[in-house]
Structure 1
């Protein structure tokens, strides 16, 4: 038996609970992993509410929280090559990351570099990989200007850093409380809220070439109004709305190759995870509340085992 943090139905925090679960059995192409750290993301609580779903298959309950994890391989399933017990890995779990044991599919699992901590590795599979995929989708040239909304969160922080590494000028939109943090990343800060479009025009009189939205709603609408060509508008925060505005959702690659690339960038110092809060597994609910509150600075990580 192993401990896990789950939601027992769709709803609010009242449906969350700790459970003891049977040890997962790795199927073909899967790894049984002893989790060392798990990243916390907005998608976690959105899945709990039912606002977000994974595919068309009905949600099984109880469902273990967590879409990114790092740990040590305990066993491999049939047909697995390139991984063995004792390997340090990170990736996107199929049975949730807020757990002592989980299953990782080899298709979205990579070996953790020795120079990368479990904490930092656990912050990469969703946040950093989404930023990487989005920037690759935009294909911006050096010298162009990118507007990133939600620049102070996990994906936004990674997007700002990766864009600057590519020689792109970045304007970062975030709440006033995150001004100093966004500026420390090297972005030109613009405060979110009503009047956003006018503030961006003042900060970038020559205009912006693309928008990477991570917020949705009114922020996405305001950002879209700044573009002459909606084809350079992408969003991970308002997938339906961005399509209505002529843009596109972020196209996720979800491959081990992307995980290896962002890990190499992290080891090289190009990409810093900016983990600002850590919690033990016993405080998983508290960690989730920090992210669900919507004012997260950088990344939040749960340290499961030492």
Structure 2
């Protein structure tokens, strides 16, 4: 039987297990893919604790498979599916988890994988890169403007920096000292996170900050709200909508469509976006992959790989 990495109830790492599961069957508008790579994101472990993404409703069915983004090969299509056929290499957002040998994808948020794009790189795009793309375009800052990014050293942050730089923005990235070299290599001005970071950011951007892309939330978001002249230019993917709206800003408005997936894949192929896959783990070590992200030690993206066709 196929294997999948699941959580059996809400809680901590003790709820996780690698188990045998039935091979999924695609429903209308879905494709079944043999997973070649699955991206690992903070939202994965947060969902294990009971977190729901904006717009999610209904009770989760246990055991629940981890993972929200994969790349793989179509093996079966559901009813009313056009544009995809068995053998196609694709990537997209999962319908019911992706840390598995097989996963279901909804065709509306699935795209063909360019031949020049590896499976591991493709698997990082539907969550982190697409969130970054949506947010940067939501802000709509003109070339030459200054964008401040909190949590700039993580998977989404690294993508934000690169997409913003490709659009001609000046970027100030707030992250730990250990991520200074990475951010500077991407063309960002690094500001060390921790107490006093906002004042350091003001010194790094003496002409002011035109927009803020927050990926941390909490106290960091509240401090960041005081930086842009117009709080409408404050967006977050790290805090609930009601929290940022009280500060005058907004959540990142996710498009969640194939058009955005194709756009970010094109950025990678053109060399304007490097997903920075820094570590890969086999499915049998999914626990180690998730711990690296949950503990905050990941630099760039962590990916789970399955099979041999990578």
In which range does the TM-score fall when normalised by the shorter chain?
Answer: over 0.9
Q: Distance in 1 between matches of 2:95 and 2:200?
A: 42
Listed as ranges, the gaps of 5+ residues in structure 2 are none
* Aligned-partner SS, 1:92: strand
Per-residue CA shift, 1:187-234, capped at 9, x if unaligned? 000011111111011111111000000011111111111122110000
Cα deviation for residue 4 of structure 1 reads 0.1
Q: Which moved more, 1:48-57 or 1:63-72?
A: 48-57
Q: Distance in 2 between matches of 1:22 and 1:242?
A: 41
Q: Distance in 1 between matches of 2:198 and 2:73?
A: 47
Q: Distance in 1 between matches of 2:298 and 2:221?
A: 19
Contact residue 32 and residue 75 of structure 2 kept, 8 A: yes
Q: Distance in 2 between matches of 1:68 and 1:200?
A: 33
Q: Name the residue aligned to 2:238.
A: 237
Cα deviation for residue 246 of structure 1 reads 1.1
Following superposition, which runs of at least 4 residues in structure 1 exceed 6 angstroms of deviation? Answer: none
Contact residue 212 and residue 224 of structure 2 kept, 8 A: yes
The TM-score, its normalising length taken from structure 1, stands at 0.98
1:172-187 superposed matches below 5 A: 172-187=173-188
Q: Distance in 2 between matches of 1:290 and 1:305?
A: 22
Per-residue CA shift, 1:9-35, capped at 9, x if unaligned? 000000000111111000000001000
Q: Distance in 2 between matches of 1:299 and 1:244?
A: 32
Q: Distance in 1 between matches of 2:170 and 2:125?
A: 23
The TM-score, its normalising length taken from structure 2, stands at 0.97
Q: Distance in 2 between matches of 1:227 and 1:157?
A: 21
Q: Name the residue aligned to 1:83.
A: 84
Q: Distance in 1 between matches of 2:44 and 2:191?
A: 28
Task: Pick from 296, 299, 304 the counterpart of residue 294 of structure 1.
Answer: 296
Q: Name the residue aligned to 1:16.
A: 16
Q: Which moved more, 1:168-177 or 1:46-55?
A: 46-55
Q: Name the residue aligned to 2:275.
A: 273
Contact residue 192 and residue 219 of structure 1 kept, 8 A: no
Q: Which moved more, 1:219-228 or 1:49-58?
A: 49-58
1:202-217 superposed matches below 5 A: 202-217=203-218
| CA RMSD, Structure 1 to Structure 2 (Å) | 0.9
1:153-172 superposed matches below 5 A: 153-172=154-173
Contact residue 209 and residue 229 of structure 2 kept, 8 A: no
1:35-184 superposed matches below 5 A: 35-53=35-53, 55-184=56-185
Per-residue CA shift, 1:135-181, capped at 9, x if unaligned? 11101100100001111111000000000000000000001111111
* Aligned-partner SS, 1:107: strand
Q: Name the residue aligned to 2:7.
A: 7
Q: Distance in 2 between matches of 1:254 and 1:234?
A: 17
Q: Distance in 1 between matches of 2:122 and 2:7?
A: 25
* Aligned-partner SS, 1:228: coil
Cα deviation for residue 52 of structure 1 reads 3.2
Contact residue 213 and residue 234 of structure 2 kept, 8 A: yes
* Aligned-partner SS, 2:94: coil
Per-residue CA shift, 1:89-121, capped at 9, x if unaligned? 000011211000010110000000000000100
